[in-house]
Every structure is written in C-alpha cells, then in structure tokens.
Amino acid sequence: MSRIGKNPINIVDGVTVDLKDNVVTVKGKLGELSQEIKDVTVNMEDGIITVERPSDSKDHRAKHGLYRALISNMIQGVSTGFTLSLELVGVGYRASNQGQRLELALGFSHNIILMVASEVTVETLSEKGKNPIIKLTSFDKQLLGQVAAKIRGFRPPEPYKGKGVKFVGEVLRRKAGKSA
C-alpha cells in the first residue's frame, strides 16, 4: 500500500470541501481550488478525507498517493498558503516589482520583464551587502512552483561560482576549477 495514500486528511476549520462528479472543490479564506479525480475514490466522513484505490495495479498505486497529496496541498493552501523564496547570486543581479510585473537584471544585455499570475503575490527584498531575494506567496502550490521554476530558468545557478537564480537554502554541487 502507498504510505502517503493511506494517511487520512484532516479538514481544517474555515475550510469547506465539496465532492461532486469526481471533482474535489476546496474553499478557504485565501481562495478556491478544484481538482478532477480519476481512478481512485475519495470518501469524506466527520471532517476526515480518505483516498482509496480499487486495485493494486501500478497505475492505481501511483494515483493513490498523488491525489491524496494534491488534496492535502489544496487544503493547506487555502487555509495557510505557501511561500517560496528565490535568491539572485551575482554581481549586478537585481530584482524589482510593481504589482504583478517583475523586472529582473540577470547580466543579459536587457532586463527580463515577467508578468506573474494574479494568484501569486510577488515581493522583492534588496538589502545593501546581501543578495536580492524574490518572495513568492500563493494558495496554489502547483502554480507557485511553476512561477518559481520559470524565474529560476532564466539563469540557473552554475556549478563553478554559484552565480544565478537559486532557491533560498538550496545546496548546489560545486565543481573545482581548472587545475593548472
């Protein structure tokens, strides 16, 4: 059995969950999310959600844990939300935002301008002597990860000096330079 899929999900106060036609809809103080469920059954009793699979086939086992994790992330997202921080490491790397418009200076001949989805809140922090930080906050974990991956993809960290856009706390595999 899937260890993740077996775990029950507790519904937090202030969150409502609706099950209709294999679609789970979760509403909370931060927003509303919905997810279509296939190949597994979702049961809701006394504020606890359980996900069950019809057989032990490889496909059903994979989706058992997947849908349990997706529903759990939806409940956590609409009640408390998610935050990701990105750090810009490099001389002259800067970030600034005006609402949902994020402007990045990453060492190219031009600045990169990215319009971030309205569900994601962008905040840029620049302190003297420290690397600029981009703080992303959202109730949708999937969308938040997509936006963060897009920003990181503009200039991924390189293995020699570590310059680029990286997640705060990310450990990079560093390489030794040329040995003369």
Taken in order of first residue, the domains within the chain and their CATH numbers are: 3-79 (3.90.930.12), 82-167 (3.90.930.12)
pLDDT digit string (tens) for 98-132? Answer: 999 999 999 999 999 999 999 999 999 999 999 99
Q: Is the pTM of this model over 0.85?
A: yes
Between 3-7, 47-51, 81-85, the lowest mean confidence (pLDDT) is in 3-7
For residues 35 and 142, the answer to whether their CB atoms sit within 8 Å is no
Q: Does the pLDDT value for residue 13 go beyond 70?
A: yes
